[in-house]
């Protein structure tokens, strides 16, 4: 990770590739700007003209309807022109290199690339090669990062808890394969959260997890106790059938968030999930639909956060 | 079918799910509003700002380029922002439930869902669970209903015949598998059409057909005689190869609309078809391209009718 | 080819189907109009309202993300509403004829069809059957023509060389399967270029090549000597494995443009390529990324040229 790639010489955001290395000042700028966009969605006309006449290319080398849709809505709400490119099935298959594809799209006078790629680091590679006026937003790369998801999680926590300085935040689940968890941990630490815990079976923890400055737990009871915020991660289907886990049922028994386990947390704890949920695997329906869940507000805030990122980038 | 789901407490249209149970007053409101949109397409700038800043999601769980396109054009002509989602290939395949998918899309602050689904009743299920400000339009569900198609047919009949009160309308073809025919029969009855006939081989008629208040014929000669309006239904390819019919050639011989058979109708009868046509199966090219065919006007009116539905819903 | 199909009775452009038979006056009108659009892309708001409220349908019977994207961007920059239709997977597969599909789309009140089709002549067939107010642009049909690509090449040559009257232009590569080369040769001849050469192995030359008024070479040394403009064609992957060529390595050795071979041309010669490039097959990376390459400007000019074509058609 090369944090400087993301910032201009005078310290403004040029690309959003990862939350790693981003100063608190930038994170807070994004959250504050997102705050101002929440009200746009409540207006009669849900549009602001900030990006009118700008061309935003959604470059999805890996398909993800949900993420693509949130960026498309955010861009249209800023009055930008959006072009969706499903690159997986296109020039790449004609033998063109990634950098040639990107050089071509740059030459079409794009203003911003929103990039989703199965390979970690692809958005960084693109950012290093685009023309100076083009901004790159990472919409998820391999296991590496998914910074706008991390930011919308921070927005959600700040919205419901006001501040990060007295919080215990627990992240539960498959940290090994999650591109969200790393973004979350970096952001929480940078924003001053004093205690971040992770709970997972040993097989689903990355080796370097303790170097991230988190408290590692393997049992829900200790991991969740007195938490203010619980972030459940999605257990991908392929993991359930793999060698890393005994079965989905076993996983649910030990690490699935049920009403019983939730009682170990603080009574006003909030429950988050990046979606799509596996009900009955990592989360029980009663919790998912319960009063403490803020899973749907996360989605709503995600639009405002993506509007904030795009408008800050375009303004820099 | 729960008609009340479609109406607000004070009797205005909240969702358009089926024509069944919709009062004549609402049907007429839609047709009258569509009338006012016909002229928009003839202007230099084919746009009105009625839905500016609204987000319309085309949720196609089953692919249908033609229907999706007509809704997309109608929405853009109303200045709405349109997001196309081909859900078949997306979150659903990740194991998310239909209601979770819809809850997520609602949280992205959609204003309207246009829903196409292979299962009958899916749009009703969605309508029962969306946030109060979101409107649902059924763009075809299973064998159940396709209300905007039914409405554009009514618009076409009224346009060419002026009134429903003295008309004989004959619907010909595969009523068993048609989601259009039911919508048509309900609308015709509600709007005061005194005589609706259906003509089909016994194997392509639903069992409850007589309970719909129609006259059942098996031979074209009696079914078409003195008709003012003839609506030909599409014979789907899979039926031709199935056990329900001897062959496409046999079908054409008995129930295909040829110039000879058309002579049994009134000389000023109009011929309709929902498209796409199987020329030489349910309709002869000479009829399809002839003076009595109003098949292409149906398509044009379809845009105006969809604009009417969307603008009425958004205004309620 | 029926040139008159493209022109109105008083000699204005009605459809753009092929560059064959188009008078120099029209070609120059397009290039001059494109010139005026170059500056649009450099503005803060990259939009002009020339096609506001017009509906442009991208009808892609064959998928081509790159070409579709350039037309979509051009149309949006003119403020048109764009509807993308991937027809391959749609009504066509339901047994509808091409002309019925087109008649239906016409009835949706399209103003312009941008057509890509694997069969030569499909755009002509469509142009012969659309309503009088609809314009057709050929975005590539079979091996026949790709006129906007030819036009952007002419724009690029004029941009860098000022004039066509003293130029030696060499086209290198697979002329047999290229839909671009024919468009280029016709345009160059019409615009007054005194010497057009083609260089290719015998197996990749069309039989009638000499009737096109070009000088045929089989060796790069004589074909490139003193050239002002070198246009490299893409060698499609399937050719490399076919019977027409020994191997990609052999092709590169004889007809691939390397720095050594480029020295035979004039020192200020420009190198063009329609993309996507096969580096190390028809072009060496050092040339592709070198000072004489104008491959990315071609892409940029392509947007302006497509804006010009669409705005001229819509104005006629």
Alpha helices, DSSP H, located in chain C:
24-38, 65-77, 98-107, 122-129, 147-161, 179-190, 220-224, 237-241, 248-255, 259-262, 285-288, 295-315
User: A206 to chain C, minimum CA–CA distance in Å?
Assistant: 38
Are the C-beta atoms of residues B277 and B132 closer than 8 Å to each other?
no
Tell whether A87 is within 8 A of chain C (Cβ).
Answer: yes
Q: What digits encode the pLDDT tens for the residues A227-256? A: 999 999 998 776 666 667 778 888 999 999
Decide if C65 contacts C73 (C-beta within 8 A). no
What is the mean pLDDT of the segment spanning B188-204?
A: 95
The residue among A211, B46, A185, B182 whose CA lies nearest residue C80 is B46
Half-sphere exposure of A128 (CA within 13 A, CB side): 11
Q: Domain ranges in chain B?
A: 3-145+300-315, 147-296
Cα separation of A36 and A34, whole Å?
5
Query: Hunting for tokens 């829900």 — which residue is that?
Result: A220
Residue B1 pLDDT class (50, 70, 90 cuts): very low
- Does residue B220 surpass a pLDDT of 70? yes
- Contact predicate B81/B25, CB 8 Å: no
Contact status, residue A236 vs residue A176, Cβ threshold 8 Å? no
* Separation CA B95–CA B219 (nearest Å): 48
Residue pair A192/A138 in contact by the 8 Å Cβ criterion: no
Please provide the CATH number assigned to the domain covering C3-145+301-315.
Answer: 3.40.50.1370
Question: Nearest chain C Cα to A92, which residue?
Answer: C276
CA angle A204, A209, A212 (to 5 degrees): 145
State both tokens at A274: 């990046």
Q: How far is the C-alpha of B76 from the C-alpha of A314, rounded, in Å?
A: 26
According to the model, what pLDDT value does residue C316 have? Answer: 81
Under 8 Å between Cβ of A170 and A46: no
Q: How far apart are the CA of A298 and the nearest CA of chain B, in angstroms?
A: 8
Residue A168 has pLDDT above 70, yes or no: yes
Of the listed ranges A14-18, A310-314, C87-91, C182-186, the one predicted with least confidence: C87-91
What confidence tier does B90 reach under pLDDT thresholds 50, 70, 90? Answer: low
**Predicted local distance difference test score (pLDDT) of residue A94:** 63
Cα–Cα nearest to B20, from B209, B156, B150: B150
Helix (H, G, I), strand (E, B) or coil at C191: coil
Residue numbers in A near B100 (CB within 8 A): 275-277, 279
List of residues 6+ apart from C182 with CB closer than 8 A? C20, C144, C145, C212
Chain A CB contacts of B81 under 8 Å are: 47, 73, 76-77
pLDDT for position A90: 53
Could you tell me if B238 lies within 8 Å of chain C, comparing CB atoms?
Answer: no
Predicted confidence (pLDDT) at residue A89 exceeds the cutoff of 60 = no
Pairing of strands B195-199, B112-117: unpaired
Banded model confidence at residue B89, pLDDT cuts 50, 70, 90: low
Tokens (6 digits) for A125: 């590679």
Contact C83 B69 (CB under 8 A): yes
Contact B54 A69 (CB under 8 A): no
Please determine, for residue C237, whether its predicted confidence score (pLDDT) is greater than 80: no
Q: Which of B81, B85, B91 sits opposite A276 (nearest CB)?
A: B91
Describe the strand order of the beta sheet including A135-141 as a list of residue ranges: A81-86, A55-60, A112-117, A135-141
What does the alpha-carbon distance between residue B129 and residue B124 come to, in Å, rounded to a whole number?
Answer: 9
Checking if the pLDDT of C123 tops 60, the result is: yes
Please tell me the distance from the alpha carbon of residue A73 to that of residue B312, in angstroms, as a whole number: 23
Tell me the nearest-neighbour CA distance from A281 into chain B, angstroms: 11
Which of C45, C47, C69 is closest, CB to CB, to A108?
A: C69
For the residues of C200-230, what is the DSSP string, one character each?
Answer: --GGGS-TTGGGGT-EEESSHHHHHTT-SEE
Say whether C99 sits in a helix, a strand or coil. helix
Please, which pLDDT band fits residue C183 given cuts at 50, 70 and 90?
A: confident
Is the CB of residue A109 less than 8 Å away from at least one CB of chain C?
yes
Residue A308 pLDDT > 50, yes or no?
A: yes
pLDDT value of position C208: 86
pLDDT in tens, C154-164: 999 999 999 99
Q: How many CA atoms lie within 13 A of B194 on its CB side?
A: 7
Enter the DSSP assignment of A61.
Answer: S
Query: Taking Cα atoms as reference points, which of B308, B265, B314 lies closest to residue B290?
Result: B265
What's the rounded Cα separation, in Å, for the pair C182 and C193? 15
Structure tokens at A28: 């807070």
Between the alpha carbon of residue B185 and those of residues A118, A159, B55, B169, B269, the distances in Å are 51, 52, 32, 10, 18
Give residue B88's pLDDT: 66
Domains C3-145+301-315 and C147-298 share a fold: yes
pLDDT at C3: 46
Closest CB to A275 among B81, B85, B104 = B104
Q: Is the pLDDT of residue C211 over 90?
A: no
Which of A45, A80, A85, A44 has the alpha carbon at shortest distance from A62? A85
Sheet holding B168-172, edge to edge: B215-217, B195-199, B168-172, B229-232, B270-272
Is residue A275 within 8 angstroms of chain B, CB to CB? yes
Phi-psi region of A192 (alpha: psi -120 to 50; beta: other; left: phi over 0): left
pLDDT at residue A71, as a whole number? 96
* pLDDT value at residue A243: 67
Q: Does B156 touch chain A (CB under 8 A)?
A: no
Instruction: Give residue C86's pLDDT.
Output: 77
How far is C273 from C271, CA to CA, in rounded Å? 7
% of residues, chain C, pLDDT over 70: 95
pLDDT tens per residue across span B233-279: 998 776 666 667 778 888 999 999 999 999 999 999 999 999 889 99
Question: Sorting pLDDT into bands at 50, 70 and 90, what band is B143?
Answer: confident
Whether A34 and A42 have beta carbons less than 8 Å apart is answered as: no
Model confidence at A2: pLDDT above 50 = no
DSSP-derived letter for residue C283 is B
Q: What is the pLDDT averaged over residues C66-94?
A: 83
The CATH number for B3-145+300-315, chosen from 3.40.50.1370, 3.90.420.10, 3.20.20.140, 3.30.830.10, is 3.40.50.1370
Query: What's the confidence (pLDDT) of residue C209?
Result: 85
Residue A114 tokens, joined: 């929103």
Integer CA distances (angstroms), C173 to B127, C109, C203, C239, C248, in order: 59, 42, 10, 11, 12
pLDDT confidence bin for C242, thresholds 50/70/90: low
Number of C-beta neighbours around residue A35 at 10 A: 16
Nearest to A7 by CA among B200, C133, A21, A205: A21
What digits encode the pLDDT tens for the residues C267-303?
999 999 998 899 999 999 999 999 999 999 999 999 9
Preceding peptide of B276 cis, ω within 30°: yes
Residue B93 has pLDDT above 80, yes or no: no
Asked whether the beta carbons of residue C96 and residue B69 sit closer than 8 angstroms, the reply is: no
- pLDDT for the residue numbered A171: 97
Note the CATH architecture for domain B147-296: 3-Layer(aba) Sandwich (3.40)
CA distance linking residue A302 with residue A148, whole number of Å: 8
Which of C52, C54, C107 is nearest residue B296 as measured by Cβ atoms? C107
Q: What CATH code is assigned to C147-298?
A: 3.40.50.1370
- Contact (Cβ atoms closer than 8 angstroms) between residue A270 and residue A230: yes
Question: Which residues in chain B touch residue C101, judged by CB atoms under 8 angstroms apart?
Answer: 276
Q: Are C169 and C157 in contact (CB under 8 A)?
A: yes
Average pLDDT for residues C15-31, to the nearest whole number? 95
Residue B164 predicted with pLDDT over 60: yes
Q: Which carries the bigger pLDDT value, residue A184 or residue A85?
A: A184
The answer to whether A195 and A167 are in contact (CB under 8 A) is: yes
Residue with tokens 């590739």: A17
Average pLDDT of the segment spanning A50-66 = 90
Residue A1 pLDDT: 44
Task: List, for residues B24-61, the tens digit of each pLDDT value.
Answer: 999 999 999 999 999 887 787 888 999 999 999 999 88
Rounded (10°) CA dihedral C131, C134, C135, C138: -70
C-beta separation of B88 from B62 below 8 A: yes
This prediction's pTM? 0.91
Residue A44 is given by DSSP the state S
> How far is Cα C253 from Cα B180, in angstroms, rounded to an integer?
63
Q: Decide if B79 touches C, using CB distance below 8 A.
A: no
Q: What is the rounded average pLDDT for all residues in chain A?
A: 91
Q: Structure tokens of A55? A: 């061309």
Residues above pLDDT 70, as percent of chain A: 95
Q: Is the pLDDT of residue B2 over 50?
A: no
Average pLDDT over residues C182-195: 94
User: What 3-state DSSP class applies to B124?
Assistant: helix
Residue C113 dihedral angles phi and psi, to the nearest 5°: -110, 125
A166-184 in b/e form (b: 16+ CB < 10 A) is: ebbbbbbbbbbbbbbbbbb
Chains that touch B (3 or more CB pairs under 8 A): A, C
Residue A291 forms contact with B (CB below 8 Å): no
- Residue C239 tokens read as 């050719």
The confidence band for C312, taking pLDDT boundaries of 50, 70 and 90, is very high
Chain B contact set for C103 (CB, 8 A): 296
Q: Is C245 helix (H, G, I), strand (E, B) or coil?
A: coil
DSSP character string of A270-291: EEE--S---BTTTB-HHHHTST
What angle separates helix C24-38 from helix C147-161, to the nearest 10 degrees? 70
B278 to chain C: which residues are within 8 Å by CB?
A: 95
What angle separates helix B295-315 from helix B65-77, to the nearest 10 degrees? 50
């Amino acid at each position: 990770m090369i944090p400087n790639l993301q910032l201009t010489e005078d310290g403004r955001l040029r690309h959003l590739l990862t939350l790693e290395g981003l100063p608190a000042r930038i994170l807070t700028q994004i959250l504050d700007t997102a705050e101002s966009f929440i009200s746009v969605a409540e207006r009669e006309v849900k549009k602001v003209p900030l990006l009118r006449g700008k061309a935003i290319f959604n470059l999805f080398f890996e398909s993800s309807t949900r993420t693509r849709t949130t960026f498309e809505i955010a861009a249209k709400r800023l009055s930008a022109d959006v072009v969706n490119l499903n690159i997986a099935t296109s020039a790449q298959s004609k033998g063109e290199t990634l950098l040639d594809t990107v050089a071509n799209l740059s030459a079409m006078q794009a203003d911003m690339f929103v990039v989703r790629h199965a390979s970690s680091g692809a958005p960084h590679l693109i950012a290093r090669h685009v023309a100076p006026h083009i901004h790159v937003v990472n919409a998820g790369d391999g296991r590496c990062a998914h910074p706008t998801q991390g930011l919308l999680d921070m927005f959600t926590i700040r919205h419901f808890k006001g501040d990060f300085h007295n919080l215990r935040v627990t992240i539960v689940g498959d940290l090994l394969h999650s591109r969200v968890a790393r973004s979350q941990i970096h952001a929480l630490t940078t924003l001053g959260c004093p205690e971040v815990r992770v709970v997972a079976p040993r097989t689903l923890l990355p080796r370097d997890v303790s170097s991230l400055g988190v408290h590692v737990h393997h049992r829900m009871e200790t991991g969740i106790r007195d938490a203010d915020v619980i972030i459940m991660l999605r257990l991908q289907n392929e993991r359930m059938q793999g060698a890393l886990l005994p079965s989905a049922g076993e996983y649910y028994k030990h690490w699935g968030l049920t009403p019983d386990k939730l009682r170990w947390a603080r009574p006003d704890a909030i429950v988050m999930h990046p979606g799509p949920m596996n009900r009955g695997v990592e989360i029980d329906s009663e919790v998912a639909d319960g009063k403490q869940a803020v899973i749907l507000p996360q989605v709503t805030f995600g639009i405002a956060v993506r509007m904030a990122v795009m408008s800050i980038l375009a303004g820099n």
